[in-house]
Amino acid sequence: MKVVEKDFGQLPDGKVVTAFTLENIKHTQITAISYGATWQSFSVERDGVKQELLVQFDDLAAYLDNPFHFGNTIGRVGGRLSKTDYDINGAHFTLTPNDHGNVLHSGINGFDAVNWHGEARNLGTAAEINFTRTFDDEFAGQLAAQVTYRLDDEDRLDIIFSGVSTENTLFNPMTHVYFNLVGKDQDISQHKLQIASRQHLEVDNHTIPTGNVIDNQNTKFDFAHLHALG
């Protein structure tokens, strides 16, 4: 395994954002940057040519203005929280809304808009990038969070989230990655998809789940059999 560490740019406060790249014996590469613990690149080699598989940016400025959260780690909670006031074990906390009165991707407390401490290490037939940071914000408890990207020589990529909080809290992070398997800036309408699911959650007009479960059959969510996205 090959591990490379380099500067990816500077934040407005002068802090350096670091890019960590792992490469295996098949020349498959992943890169993650410390800003937002972001998965920045995933490339494979085909007939001697590198092909990028992610929708991504090549400069830090674009990640600082990234409304679609390309590649970001989202937390403490991914998705939408439908209210701003919570009680856990008798303790009350209030979040600042940022999406039609709801809290999207943890809002101002999010994992995606801060610089993490990063380290990479070679494990022999695998290598990993570890990002760590402590969060003391509007959520209950001080949270020590870690995000690990691990690539092995079999082209398997694991993304591992962990956290230890000083209080009971909410913790449901995610990777907000977009794939384009035919190459950078190419049309994905002919990508074929199959999902082993017969139902999906109904959402309201603010994309908040209602709790109702709907059958996929004869809807645009029906991917029981392989067919093109377009």
Any idea which fold 2-187 has?
Beta-galactosidase; Chain A, domain 5 (2.70.98)
Q: What is the four-CA torsion angle of 59, 63, 66, 72, rounded to 10 degrees?
A: 130
Question: Identity (one letter) of the amino acid at 35?
Answer: Y
pLDDT at 185: 82
Is the pTM for the entire model greater than 0.85?
yes
How far is Cα 187 from Cα 165, in angstroms, rounded to an integer? Answer: 43
How far is Cα 59 from Cα 31, in angstroms, rounded to an integer? Answer: 13
Judge whether 9 and 58 are in contact, CB under 8 Å: no
Domain borders along the chain are 2-187, 189-230
How far is Cα 155 from Cα 158, in angstroms, rounded to an integer? Answer: 10
pLDDT at 134: 98
| DSSP classification of residue 166 | S
For 11-69, write each residue's pLDDT tens digit. 999 999 999 999 999 999 999 999 999 999 999 998 889 999 999 999 999 999 999 99
For 87-138, write each residue's pLDDT tens digit. 999 989 999 999 999 999 999 999 999 999 999 999 999 999 999 999 999 9
Q: Looking at the predicted structure, is the pLDDT value of residue 204 above 90?
A: yes
- From the list 178, 219, 203, the residue with the least C-alpha distance to 79 is 203
For 143-196, write each residue's pLDDT tens digit. 999 999 999 999 999 999 999 999 999 999 999 999 999 888 889 999 999 999
Judge whether 35 and 115 are in contact, CB under 8 Å: yes
HEC string of 36-91? CCEEEEEEEEECCEEEECECCCCCHHHHHCCCCCCCEEECCECCEECCCEEEECCE
